[in-house]
Chain A
Amino acid sequence: GIQVEQSPPDLILQEGANSTLRCNFSDSVNNLQWFHQNPWGQLINLFYIPSGTKQNGRLSATTVATERYSLLYISSSQTTDSGVYFCAVVNYGQNFVFGPGTRLSVLP
């Protein structure tokens, strides 16, 4: 089945810093999503982005499907950005496969 890798596994930032999270996948996909799992365990949709670039406030994402990777950019990070960021992909006819996540800690 499809393999999903995320890097870095852990990231510690000072408030106000920028960061880039990466998701690599091993096969063609017809869906890619980024999620934020907050410290209370909730999974929050960030982006539905099988290809192209999207922006939402301080967050943006780019997926280059032909090269099998996606990037999540967080600018001017805030303490509320702390948590785990997951990417999940769907290979045609299959089910959502999650990466292992990037654990982000933003320090005040």
Chain B
Amino acid sequence: DSGVTQTPKHLITATGQRVTLRCSPRSGDLSVYWYQQSLDQGLQFLIHYYNGEERAKGNILERFSAQQFPDLHSELNLSSLELGDSALYFCASTPLWGTEAFFGQGTRLTVV
């Protein structure tokens, strides 16, 4: 158990819908990263939050947004979903920027 909790584990939804993925970092970790892994692909960086502030954006679509709340949990919002958004979405947490990262179990999103 990495200590990073992601919910839900699985999500099936229709095209055009909106979903919210949730991540609770390890206790005391201030940094949260979101990654997307499409089928048989590598991990693509989406966005990074540190102590509630957005610190970096990767190739995140405009239809996607995220935030980190005062209790340090983070949510990734995906809207106007397309078939191509089907993927594993991971979050990771670190105590400080760039230190050892621990990943959650991921949310497997299927858009039908």
Residues on A lying within 8 angstroms of B by beta carbon are 30-31, 33, 35, 41-43, 45, 48, 86, 88, 90, 92-101
Helix, strand, loop or mixed for chain A's interface?
strand
Q: Are B88 and A45 in contact (CB under 8 A)?
A: no
Task: How many A-B residue pairs have C-beta atoms within 8 angstroms? Tell me.
Answer: 49
Find out whether the CB atom of B101 lies under 8 angstroms from the CB atom of A96: yes
Residues of B within 8 A of A (CB): 2, 33, 35, 42-43, 45, 48, 56, 58, 88, 90, 92, 97-103, 105-106, 108
The CA of A97 and the CA of B56, in the complex, are separated in Å by 13
Contact (Cβ within 8 A) B45 A31: no
Contact A35 B103, beta carbon cutoff 8 Å: yes
How far does the alpha carbon of A43 sit from the alpha carbon of B101 in the complex, in Å? Answer: 11
Q: How far is the CB of B5 from chain A (nearest CB, A)?
A: 13
Closest to B97 in A: A93
